Amino acid sequence: MAEQMSHIPDEVYLEFLGQTVEIHWDLHAILMATIWIILVPLCIIAIRFFKPKPTERGVLDKINVRDPQWWWFHAHKFGLYFCIALSLVGVIVAIVVSKGFSGTVHSVFGILTVIFGCLQVISSWVRGRHGG
C-alpha cells in the first residue's frame, strides 16, 4: 500500500523573510480554541453578570474609559475586539502558510466563524444608543 502524502504543509518558505519556517498547526488550534472557547465566553459573562442593575431609563452614568467602575464594559468591548483581532491573525497565518484557501469543511466553518465575529463588531458600531 502506497503511503499517502498529506495536503497539510509542515513548513513554508516565506519570501519576505527569505527562509523556510516550520509550521506548528497545534499552536493555531490552541490559539483559536482559547479565543472561541475561553476568551469570548468570558467577555460575554463580564457584561451579563457584572453590569449595574437596569433602571427605567437605562444606565444613567456616562461611560468613561478611565473610570474603574466600568471595568465590565471595557472587558466586554475591548476583550471582544482583541479576540476578533487574534482570530483574523490566525486566519491570515493559516491562509498564508497553506498558500490559499483549502476549501475543507474546517476552513469553511473557520472562515464563517470569523466573518460572523467581524459582523458582530460591525453591528455594535451601528446599533445606536440604548437607555438614557
Q: What is the bridge-based pairing of β-strands 11-14 and 19-22?
A: antiparallel
d(CA 23, CA 25): 6
Ordered per-residue pLDDT tens for the chain, 132 residues: 455 555 777 777 777 778 887 877 888 889 999 999 999 999 999 988 988 777 777 666 666 667 777 888 889 999 999 999 999 999 988 888 887 888 889 889 999 999 999 999 999 888 876 554
Q: How far is CA 3 from CA 8, 11, 25, 64, in A?
A: 15, 19, 22, 61
> Cell 518558505 sits at which residue?
13
Instruction: Say how far apart CA 90 and CA 86 lie, in whole Å.
Output: 6
List residues bridging with 22 in a β-sheet: 11
Q: What is the pLDDT of residue 118?
A: 94
CA-to-CA separations, 127 to 40, 55, 120, 121, in angstroms, rounded: 20, 20, 10, 10
Phi, psi values for residue 19, rounded to 5°: -150, 165
